[in-house]
A and B are shown apart, each in its own frame.
Chain A
Amino acid sequence: MKRRDFLKKTIMVVAGASVPLSALDLVDPKEVLAANPDIHWAFLIDTHKCVGCGFCVKACKTENDIPFDAKVTRTWVERYVYTKDDRRYVDSPDGALYGYTESRIDLGQGNFKEIDPANVGKAFFVPKLCNHCETPPCTQVCPVGATYKTDDGVVLVDRSWCIGCGYCIMACPYGARFFHPVEKVADKCTFCYHRITKGLETACVNACPFGAREMCNIRDINEPTTKIIMNQRVGVLKDEFGTRPQAFYIGLAQEVR
């Protein structure tokens, strides 16, 4: 055996032997995925399918330990009602945690507006969450780098490093961020990173009985959801900020901001 071959083989053996070992206790699936350039997570919301039941909001709060009655939430559902006399009403009481069981619109401060059903032009629900922007202003402004973007396209917050300045909250054009009432650090949707990196669905996707929410790897063009994003007319929120959101919407009305 030539010396070169010997070296080659040795390297192969060592590498081969180390794989199972490291897979056992050294490499964490997150890191493997984060290092894999073939994965980029994206979200798809079909506003035609959403009925405003709020199951997703509940599931998210439970899954991610956001205190149930605290008035902040990682995902929420907005209700839009347009009347025939061209007025627009929007509300999202408690982020739709308890769903929409009432027809009257919540105007805030204990005021409500009942709309005559005959006067309703169109009405629909729009679920919202962090868009995991391609160029996120929230990571740009964080003074300590506690908010960061993983290689597979998910924006996360390092709870042990965030100083709680709130700059990211001000910088997000979507109102996706808030201070966690217990941890006292910036918080927001993580695309259930602890689940998707294990091959599971996010809690909200899982909880939606109507399939209004879906996730996919946008780099895998064979995935059905990716196909929809690629082939159909989908929109994103507040495109004008140049944040390039990764949450896509089917049936987005122009007035939804």
Chain B
Amino acid sequence: MLEQAAHLVVHGEAWTVKELFVLPNEYIYWSIQIVMYPFMTGLVAGAFVLSSLYHVFHVEKLKEIAKFSLVFSFSLLPVAMMPLLLHLQQPFRGINVMMTPHFTSAIAAFGIVFTTYACIVATELWFVYRAYFVTTALELKAKANKGAIDTFRQLLFSVLTLGAWDISKEAQQKDHKACTKMAAIGIPVACFLHGYAGFIFGSVKANALWMTPLMPVIFICSAVVSGIALCILYYVVVQEARKFMARRKLARWAKDPSAPTAEQLEGAKKEEVEITSNYLMYFMIAAITLEILDLIFRGYTQVKSWDILREVIMERDFIKIFVLQYGLGNALPFLMMVLPGRNVRRTTIACALVLFGVFMMRWNVVIGGQAFSLSFAGFMHYHLPIIPHDMETFKEGLFGALTVMTTPFVLFYFLNMIFPAFMVDKEDAQH
């Protein structure tokens, strides 16, 4: 045993550097994947709230981006769970949470809330796309000399209709109503999904930085901010790509005579981005106000832990918090959006900065919360593993985080084949 013990590295040792007096068992246990977890869940919730603006509050102008963000939110869904699984020391036992949920634990609710939420999004999606499934299946059925792919697609879409083939006007109106209802139920559930991610942290009384009832609310607001920002950003990128394809007639859809022209795409993009970014700003104001309020409150009340918190916030993490998060991630993009002469390009850059800001906020909360020792006398620094040399440094390192980040885009690519996020309603096209 001794031989083996000689090079036994304990969990956390690979990336934690201790300074002054830190308790022997203390390490940065919650590392990059736990930063990714609220970040990705936030994107899911935010994208859904954006799509609900159209589906529930009938902001008609957001129709296109709403459909897109709904599909995108669905492709983000599985990714909300990924970081948690990657972070577990016993990932194969993850299912135990469903088998023996322990309801005094905030994490235990995850499975339930998450599943409920997934069902709601799936149902809503189905109502939005049911008519499309039916028409596609019928079209494919009517098609002469089908290839293997077409046969497969016909089968797939037939199954997806779930036997509801009625696409009369009344039936479609019913779909529409059901969809509104699902979206309305979805909003509180989406907020709950993310609010309680904040609760996971806010309820840890041992951690002076996390321990605040504001945490869930702060998390919800910044979740909506990040979700909207990502949708705008991704929407712009995809529209640019579509414009390119429409000009060169590259994709299959672009060859269709009723396909939108590059000019139409540009116009649509401009309008959607314009309106969506207004909503983005409202939520940003709420998020920043709450965060600053929390900070001021701590400074003003100066409880016992403030000494060490102040040192972390004002000195050690000053650049990460005030320069990167508030400056680069909040103030700068906000200015870019409110100053006159805003255009799509400027908004897009602002959105990228906003996303960065929200990521930094998650980082500063999760890593910053572990930067000081429970002894209140020492500090810990986190060094993100970059080059992985074993499974652990891969999972909890840069590449693990990148894997989580890229997955939703891959999923979206495939989901888009089934739920075309940019489908133009036949009716709309005729108008």
CA distance A88 to B377 in the complex (A): 10
Known A70-B5, A90-B375; judge A163-B97 contact (CB<8 A). Answer: yes
- What A residues does B96 contact at CB under 8 A? 144, 146, 161, 163
A175 touching B26, Cβ below 8 Å: yes
A142 touching B105, Cβ below 8 Å: yes
CA distance A37 to B116 in the complex (A): 42
Known A67-B8, A143-B97, A181-B11; judge A91-B21 contact (CB<8 A). Answer: yes
A108 touching B21, Cβ below 8 Å: yes
B8 touching A92, Cβ below 8 Å: no
A103-126 vs B, Cβ < 8 Å mask (1 yes, 0 no): 000011100000000000000000
- What A residues does B18 contact at CB under 8 A? 108-109
- What B residues does A91 contact at CB under 8 A? 21
A140 sits at the interface (CB 8 A)? yes
B102 touching A257, Cβ below 8 Å: no
- Stretch from B85-93, B223-231, B419-427 that touches the partner: B85-93
B1 sits at the interface (CB 8 A)? yes
A67 touching B1, Cβ below 8 Å: yes
- What B residues does A166 contact at CB under 8 A? 29-30, 87, 89
CA distance A224 to B188 in the complex (A): 58
Q: How far in angstroms is the closest Cβ of chain B from A13?
A: 40
Known A144-B97, A257-B374; judge A73-B20 contact (CB<8 A). Answer: no
CB-CB contacts below 8 Å: B13-46 with A: 13, 17-27, 29-30
Known A69-B8, A170-B30, A181-B10; judge A161-B93 contact (CB<8 A). Answer: yes
Q: How far in angstroms is the closest Cβ of chain B from A96?
A: 9
B378 sits at the interface (CB 8 A)? yes
Known A95-B24, A170-B207, A241-B205; judge A178-B107 contact (CB<8 A). Answer: no
For chain A, the bracket of interface size reads 35 or more
A176 touching B90, Cβ below 8 Å: no
B202 sits at the interface (CB 8 A)? no
B88 touching A142, Cβ below 8 Å: no
- What A residues does B93 contact at CB under 8 A? 144, 161-164
Prevailing SS type, chain A contact patch? loop
A141 sits at the interface (CB 8 A)? yes
CA distance A182 to B90 in the complex (A): 12
CA distance A89 to B377 in the complex (A): 9
A172 sits at the interface (CB 8 A)? yes
A179 touching B9, Cβ below 8 Å: no
CB-CB contacts below 8 Å: A58-96 with B: 67-73, 76, 88-92, 94-95
A177 sits at the interface (CB 8 A)? yes
Residue in B24, B30, B104 whose CB lies within 8 Å of A71: B24
A137 touching B206, Cβ below 8 Å: yes
B10 touching A108, Cβ below 8 Å: no
Q: How far in angstroms is the closest Cβ of chain B from A81?
A: 11
B165 sits at the interface (CB 8 A)? no
Known A161-B96, A173-B374; judge A179-B21 contact (CB<8 A). Answer: no
CB-CB nearest in chain A for B304: A240
- What B residues does A140 contact at CB under 8 A? 104-105
B25 touching A165, Cβ below 8 Å: no
Q: How far in angstroms is the closest Cβ of chain A from B423?
A: 40
B13 touching A143, Cβ below 8 Å: no
CB-CB nearest in chain A for B21: A90
Q: How far in angstroms is the closest Cβ of chain A from B360?
A: 21
A195 sits at the interface (CB 8 A)? no
A9 sits at the interface (CB 8 A)? no
A163 touching B21, Cβ below 8 Å: no
A121-141 vs B, Cβ < 8 Å mask (1 yes, 0 no): 000000000000000010011
Residue in A68, A109, A185, A257 whose CB lies within 8 Å of B375: A257
CB-CB nearest in chain B for A255: B377
Known A92-B24, A141-B105, A142-B102; judge A69-B90 contact (CB<8 A). Answer: no
Q: How far in angstroms is the closest Cβ of chain B from A148?
A: 9
- What A residues does B106 contact at CB under 8 A? 141
A184 sits at the interface (CB 8 A)? yes
CB-CB nearest in chain A for B89: A164
- What A residues does B101 contact at CB under 8 A? 143-144
- What B residues does A182 contact at CB under 8 A? 8
Q: How far in angstroms is the closest Cβ of chain A from B100?
A: 5
A145 sits at the interface (CB 8 A)? yes
Q: How far in angstroms is the closest Cβ of chain A from B408?
A: 23
CB-CB contacts below 8 Å: A142-157 with B: 142-146
A171 sits at the interface (CB 8 A)? yes
CA distance A73 to B24 in the complex (A): 7
Give 8 pairs: A residue, B residue, CB < 8 Å, sorted on A.
A107-B20, A137-B205, A141-B105, A142-B102, A143-B105, A145-B102, A163-B94, A169-B25
18 new A-B contacts, CB < 8 A, other than A166-B87, A175-B374, are A72-B10, A73-B25, A90-B375, A92-B23, A109-B17, A137-B204, A137-B206, A141-B107, A143-B102, A144-B108, A162-B89, A163-B90, A163-B96, A170-B204, A171-B204, A179-B29, A179-B89, A184-B90
Shortest beta-carbon contacts, A-B, top 3:
A164-B89, A175-B23, A67-B5
